[in-house]
Amino acid sequence: MASGKTRALCYQGVLSAARNPNCVGLIGAPTYPMLRDVTIPAMLQILEEKGIKHEYHKSEYTLILPRARVLFRSLESFERLRGPNLAWVGIDELTYCRPEAWQRLEARVRDPRAQQPQMFAVWTPKGYDWVYQRFISEDKLKDHEAILARPFENIAVLDRQPDYYEHLKVSYDEPFYRQEALGEYLNVFAGRVYQAYSEANKAPDLRFAPEAGLCWALDFNVTPMTAIIAQWINGRIYVLEEIYLRNSNTLEMCERFEERANFYLEQYRAANGNQPLPITVYGDATANARSTANKTDYAEIKEYFRSRGQFRLAFDYPRGNPRVKDRVNSVNAMLRTAGNQIRTLVHPRCKELIRDFLEVSWKQTSDGFELDKRSDMNRTHLSDAFGYMVWQVAPIDPFHREIIKN
């Protein structure tokens, strides 16, 4: 279901189509899944509610109105936007789009028949980015204006879900909640990446729960190769220990993990009888195409444990890796929500993981912000492994992408 800002965008699209008869307009979004799942359904719902005659050609992502045509396009591949002459353009979630996409479309709003040519967009703040500079800052461009909605004005959502904001407090960490739910402009890429971590996440008395299996999350490198051993129980993650190997490979990691898993196997069988210990393996998507030997990393793990019937392995990783920012937001929300709920406990023996949470910082590049791996090559690996697991069990995904289980 679309939020209030998406419906506002679609209402403006209907107005722009009516004010520019016999012309073509375009409504864009960061991805085709977002168009399909959010933007287009919102537009079709509005047309049905208002009794406006229309035809939607699904295969062409094209809407036919009585005297206008509307194209729905993804802005991921912005070089493909060079073709049509347009009367108007509207963009959903502009801050998730590249500035080049907006610039390409600016050049296309040139239909001589247009009576009121214009561009408009809706967005959620993403720090002091190019959208902020263009529309809001003191140096904003001429003829660019922004209407900033205040928190709790979103009646399109509150009418059907009165506890909307309280619900997000449980799901998001505080800075992400203030940005995504309250619409505040924050510098979320300053300082620590995992700002939600605190001493409250440490649990010296953390013990293996024999009623549940193990989670084994890996970051496949040679130096270091790292992994965490954890449990996922009732929406919480309990990190029992870490594995940190220098100048290593997947086979050595399997041997070390088997060593540790046998310790938990005894406890599991004491509580569950002579059953194999369930183990879920997490990692990044590229490990299914990359190898530290002649096989892919996941294939090597499967082969190693094929003859070890005391363990029952399952694999859970995405077909494609998420954006780092989305994965980081998901990790922070698991560490501490905006409602101060702690959903991850870490045993103090996980010293390298804790150092990651305390020391990994952001680095600005020409393409935006990324994790700073320059200052200490030992950093980011264990928190990446933890993040791969979080992304599969509790992702915060702004585009609601399908997560494919393997």
Looking at the structure, do residues 226 and 100 belong to the same domain, yes or no?
A: no
User: Which CATH number is 52's domain given?
Assistant: 3.40.50.300
At residue 402, does pLDDT exceed 50? no
At residue 365, does pLDDT exceed 70? no
Using the 3D structure, point to which of 124, 139, 171 is the last residue of a domain. Answer: 124
Using the 3D structure, point to which of 100, 124, 148 is the last residue of a domain. Answer: 124
pTM of the model: 0.64
Domain-embedded: residue 131: no
Structure-model confidence comparison of residues 208 and 326, the more confident one: 208
Looking at the structure, do residues 117 and 219 belong to the same domain, yes or no?
A: no
Structure-model confidence comparison of residues 403 and 294, the more confident one: 294
At 184-201, the pLDDT tens digits run 665 556 568 888 999 999
Average pLDDT over residues 86-106: 94
Q: What total of structural domains would you count in the chain?
A: 2
Domain-embedded: residue 39: yes
Nearest one of 321, 385, 335 to 194, comparing CA atoms: 335
Looking at the structure, do residues 120 and 223 belong to the same domain, yes or no?
A: no
Binned at pLDDT 50, 70 and 90, residue 132 comes out as: confident
The mean pLDDT value of the chain amounts to 87
At residue 257, does pLDDT exceed 80? yes
At residue 405, does pLDDT exceed 50? no
Average pLDDT over residues 203-213: 95
Task: Tell me how crowded residue 62 is: count the other CB atoms within 10 A of its CB.
Answer: 15
Structure-model confidence comparison of residues 181 and 62, the more confident one: 62
Q: Are 258 and 216 in contact (CB under 8 A)?
A: no
Angle at alpha carbon of residue 303, lines to 298 and 304, rounded to 5°: 100
Using the 3D structure, point to which of 124, 149, 176 is the last residue of a domain. Answer: 124
Q: pLDDT at position 250, please?
A: 92
Give me the domain span that covers residue 56.
4-124
Binned at pLDDT 50, 70 and 90, residue 140 comes out as: confident
Rounded to whole angstroms, the Cα distance separating 334 from 235 reads 9
Q: Which long-range contacts (CB under 8 A, 24 or more apart) does 253-260 make?
A: 253/218, 253/225, 253/227, 254/300, 254/301, 254/304, 254/305, 257/216, 257/227, 257/229, 258/304, 258/305, 258/308, 258/311, 260/229
Domain-embedded: residue 102: yes
Domain-embedded: residue 295: yes
User: Which CATH number is 286's domain given?
Assistant: 3.30.420.40
- Give me the DSSP letters along 20-56: STTEEEEEEESSHHHIIIIIHHHHHHHHHHHT---EE
Domain-embedded: residue 36: yes
Binned at pLDDT 50, 70 and 90, residue 78 comes out as: confident
Looking at the structure, do residues 95 and 216 belong to the same domain, yes or no?
A: no
At 43-65, the pLDDT tens digits run 999 999 999 999 999 999 999 99
Domain-embedded: residue 406: no
At residue 400, does pLDDT exceed 50? no
Q: pLDDT at position 185, please?
A: 67
Q: pLDDT at position 323, please?
A: 84
Q: pLDDT at position 176, please?
A: 72
Q: Are 182 and 152 in contact (CB under 8 A)?
A: no
